[in-house]
Amino acid sequence: MKITKLGEFEELVLLTVAALQQEAYGVEIKRELESRLGEKLSVGSIQSALKRMEEKGFLTSEFGEATAKRGGKRKRIYATTSYARKVLAEMREVRAGLWEAIPQLSHDLKTI
């Protein structure tokens, strides 16, 4: 079985979109990732990753409603595709198998 590989940052952005669901728009994705990673990220790096993944078929996007809070601007809301969810599941299996294959680490994790 051939596994589609994602870059580390792309995988994190894709997982964040999947977790945020209806709230998966640029600023909220950035906020969630910064919170989880404990570091500042540029809006540009996130927007670039989102655009790349949309072009590759991992994401779809649509504009939400314009709001006064945003000065009448609409936010672009992202969603994962079935292809993306399949790839994320495959990546999870690969990672879990590799973690289990590390002898001492596997033993240590089971005793926690």
pLDDT at 23: 93
pLDDT at 74: 84
pLDDT along the chain (112 residues), means of 10: 79 97 94 96 95 95 79 87 94 90 70 62
> Residue ranges per domain, the chain?
8-101
Chosen CATH of 8-101 out of 3.40.50.2000, 3.40.50.2300, 3.20.20.70, 1.10.10.10: 1.10.10.10
Following DSSP, what letter does each residue of the chain receive, concatenated?
A: -PPPP--HHHHHHHHHHHHHGGG-BHHHHHHHHHHHHTS---HHHHHHHHHHHHHTTSEEEEE----GGGTTPPPEEEEE-HHHHHHHHHHHHHHHHHHHHSHHHHHHHHT-
pLDDT at 73: 79
The predicted model scores a pTM of: 0.82
